[in-house]
Structure 1
Amino acid sequence: MRKINTILLIFITTLIALSSCDNDIEALDIVKPYEKSSEYYANLRAYKERDDHEVFFGWFGGWSANSTDMIRYLESIPDSVDIVSIWSKSPGFDDNLKKDLRRLQEVKGTRVTFTIFAHKIPEEFMVSEKEVNPEGIEAYAKALVDTMNYYGYQGIDLDYEPGYLEHAGVPFNGPLVGPSYMWPDYMDNMEIFVKALGKFIGPKSGTRNLLLIDGVPHHLKEGLAEYFNYGIVQSYRSGSYSDLQSRFDSAARKGWKPEQYIFTETFEGERYKNGGVPHLMRNGETVPSLEGMARFKPMYNGELAKRKGGCGTYHMETDYNTKPENYKYTRNAIMWMNKKENQNTEDHEK
């Protein structure tokens, strides 16, 4: 129980720390979503229970259910968004947050995960400051799953960025991420961690709970891709289809399949205003980069894949500010990914 409490404290502290990255967003008039029929929601949930379509994924920042602005509420997210990962939220977990979360999950069928930095391991699970063993790694994984169950989330997203900077001039480092001169066994440690999580969440667990990894999914050992529902690449400010193809090629060499891979754009700050950056598509057309990701299909084994995992955005909530309708670029991306399907929800038709 002491270890579970430690993880709960770390989880809350991490979310508060992540929230410090949020930009202040100007308050807007509250726009209350209108209620739809029970048949509509039943069709929506049935759609999301299928695993045969491209998904829209978003990191949601600044979550609060005690705000005067609907931008802070999960309720404001378009109905057809498939997966949301909580990037930061207000401190605590009160009844209003629980109500906002449960409505998104139970009425709309959206799965909600939480994101953690996957590099360090809490001291509670370490042998010493510079040493970790398999038992400690597995105990940490189990404690994270216990935290997930405690709050009622439906999966865990691992922010995994070996070789990148955590802060200016400071690289990510820890027993799961390296660098190798500090943690020579970090690749083995990460394998133990992933397989331990995979017992409880992800495609090998026999549950609907998600195991996701973002950042540098292709850095994992070959064979570990099968433990994840999706790998999420931070293809921020992507200028062309060739950039997306190159990113996928790196993943495919490690066993990732097109239907597992999600391409994401950053909407942090005011980057949502144009739907990303200008992006050159394979057909020569230039579109906003989020739309380009929605329409992109990777080449795989010499053929154009029938589908990919999906697309999404970092700080998806900023797209609430678009006019004339909230989440204009999100809705447009969902429409493109489902264009050839028979649609059952109004969000798909927009």
Structure 2
Amino acid sequence: MKTLKKLLYIIPLLGAMITSCTDVENIEVEHIGGYNTLGDSEYYANLRAYKETAKNYGRPVAFGWFSNWAPSGVMRKGYLSSVPDSMDIISMWSGAPGRYEITEAQKADKEFAQKVKGIKLLEVSLLSHLGKGRTPEYIYDEIEKQAAEEGWSDSELAAAKKYARWDFWGFKSHNFDNTEELNQALAKYAKALCDSLFVSEWDGFDIDWEPGAGFSDSDGTLNNTTIQVLVKEMGKYIGPKSDPEGKGHKLLCIDGYINYFSEEMEEYVDYWITQSYGHGTPDYTSPGNIPEKLIITENFESFATSGGKLLQQAAWMPAEGYKGGVGAYRFDNDYDNTPDYKWMRQAIQINQQVFNEWKANQGKK
């Protein structure tokens, strides 16, 4: 069994939360990478209580996109349970969980991260067209059979599959002037995107919106206008709009080209995530310039060894208010540093430190 030093801001519990102040502690955690602990220790209870303080933007969060999810063997890099305990939100870049059955090892790793560490795990997708990630493969069976028998070209097959997909979701006119029909199809798609989150017990959805750059499979059904229709429909089931009483909800986040969204979208979105790669300050503000909703991130596909600008991003604060959080793309690559997650651990501490300093300047305890 390996003993790891964990740096964590802990809120002590004495039957109930008695203080809102946070302290930095060095806590010894016996940890072999996953689900060896029942999660009923005081340490984990305190950890989950700390996570609760991020609700309603009570503090900035620690965020990251996780790639190469492979919780097996002695190599700990692929385990969610090996990330820093103070991570708040993880987007599953290693694969959209709504699209496949996870293994028993992944299920155990997922449950430890969520239920013991209190980390929120999001599905993430480069949404580029109606039905992406939720269209059943069986609708293409007859088309592919016919294409093989008749010797269709690749472009003929692709067109036929596109129209079959549109038909499945209810966009049967194939006419973009028929906005009512397209919007109804998007509403059906939005419900399917959200339903699977509840069935598979994921904590929300991260829309990666990068038209013209991040994907090449657009078919015209999702553009800078219709993506906002989709977000509004998703907002019926997840995100702040679905939870007017603030009782708790699955998160709805958007990353990428967040500047394409209207101010109206603020009420539907929990966090806007700006890919400010190589920059110490964010590239964009949120559409309504609400700083506590803005997460700034670095690219650890390129800068995991040096840390890039992550620590500067962690230290950055807006002119008024406080930022929503800090994070990194493919932050699991930071595991390879010494100590593991070297840069993320420092960023988490700085992220909280500058918030505590800001709060103190407001005359709050």
Which TM bucket (shorter chain)? 0.7 to 0.9
Equivalent runs, 1:1-350 vs 2, <5 Å: 32-33=32-33, 38-50=41-53, 51=55, 52-89=58-95, 92-122=101-131, 123=165, 124-128=168-172, 131=176, 133-166=182-215, 170=216, 174-177=220-223, 186-187=224-225, 189-206=226-243, 207-238=248-279, 240-241=280-281, 244=282, 246-248=283-285, 251=286, 254-268=287-301, 271-276=303-308, 289-298=309-318, 304-323=319-338, 325-339=339-353
Find the aligned partners of 1:121 and 1:311 in 2 and give their Cα distance: 31
Distance in 2, matches of 1:92 and 1:225, equals: 33
Aligned alpha-carbon RMSD (Å): 2.3
Which AA in structure 2 matches 1:82? D
SS in 1 for 2:284: helix
CA contact (8 A) 2:59 2:352 kept: yes
CA contact (8 A) 2:271 2:295 kept: yes
Residue 204 of structure 1, CA deviation: 1.6
Tell me the SS of whatever aligns to 1:162: coil
With normalisation by structure 2, the TM-score equals 0.69
Query: Counterparts of 1:83 and 1:321 in 2: how far apart (Å)?
Result: 21
Mapped contact 1:265–1:290 kept (Cα < 8 A)? yes
Q: Name the aligned partner's letter for residue 99 of structure 1.
A: A
Look up the SS of the partner of 1:56 in the other structure.
strand
- Kindly indicate whether the alpha-carbon contact (under 8 Å) linking 1:202 and 1:229 is maintained by their aligned counterparts in 2: yes
Alpha carbons 1:319, 1:330 under 8 Å: kept = yes
Q: Secondary structure at the match of 1:263?
A: strand
TM-score if structure 1 supplies the norm length?
Answer: 0.72
User: 1:22 aligns to what?
Assistant: none
1:176, 1:225 → 2: CA distance? Answer: 19
Gap runs ≥5 in structure 2 = 1-30, 132-164, 357-365
Match of 1:65, SS state, is coil
Q: How many residues align?
A: 273
Task: Decide which moves more: 110-119 or 157-166.
Answer: 157-166
Q: Secondary structure at the match of 2:255?
A: strand
Matching residue's letter, 1:318? N
Asked if 1 retains the 8 angstrom alpha-carbon contact of 2:317 and 2:354, the reply is: no
2:218 & 2:256 partners in 1: Cα distance? 12
For residues 177-211 of structure 1, the C-alpha deviation after alignment (integer angstroms, 9 at most, x for no partner) is 2xxxxxxxx50x22221111111111121233100
Deviations, residues 135-163 of structure 1 (Å, cap 9, x unaligned) = 11111011011111222101000001134
Q: Which has the larger radius of gyration?
A: 2
- Displacement after TM superposition at 1:130 (Å): 5.7
Deviation at 1:73, TM superposition (A): 0.7
Q: Aligned equivalents of 2:235 and 2:83: distance in 1?
A: 29
| Cα displacement (A) at 1:68 | 3.9
119-128 or 311-320: bigger deviation: 119-128
**Matches of 2:175 and 2:107, distance apart in 1:** 38
2:15 matched to which residue of 1? none
Q: CA deviation at 1:305?
A: 2.4
| Contact 1:125 1:136 (8 Å CA) reproduced | yes
Measured against aligned partners, the alpha-carbon deviations of 1:245-278 in whole angstroms (never above 9, x if no partner) come to x522xx3xx313000000111101x5200001xx
Distance in structure 1 (CA, Å) of the matches to 2:175 and 2:210: 20
Q: Tell me how far apart the structure 2 counterparts of residues 190 and 171 of structure 1 sit (CA, whole Å).
A: 15
Gaps of 5+ in 1: 1-30, 178-185, 277-288, 299-303, 343-350
Q: Is the 8 A contact 2:315 2:354 kept in 1?
A: no
Instruction: Please tell me the residue identity of whatever aligns with 1:320.
Output: Y
Residue 46 of structure 1: how far off its partner (Å): 1.1
In structure 1, distance between residues paired with 2:220 and 2:255: 17
Q: 1: CA distance between counterparts of 2:316 and 2:305?
A: 21
Alignment partners' CA distance in 2, 1:234 and 1:329? 17
Q: Distance in 1 between matches of 2:40 and 2:352?
A: 22
For 2:218 and 2:273, locate their aligned partners in 1 and report how far apart those are by CA, in whole Å.
18
Name the counterpart of 2:16: none
* Secondary structure at 2:344 match in 1: helix
In 1, the alpha carbon distance for the partners of 2:233 and 2:349 equals: 37
Counterpart residue type for residue 335 of structure 1? Q
- 1:165: Cα distance to partner? 4.7
| Contact kept in structure 2, 1:263 and 1:310, CA below 8 Å | yes
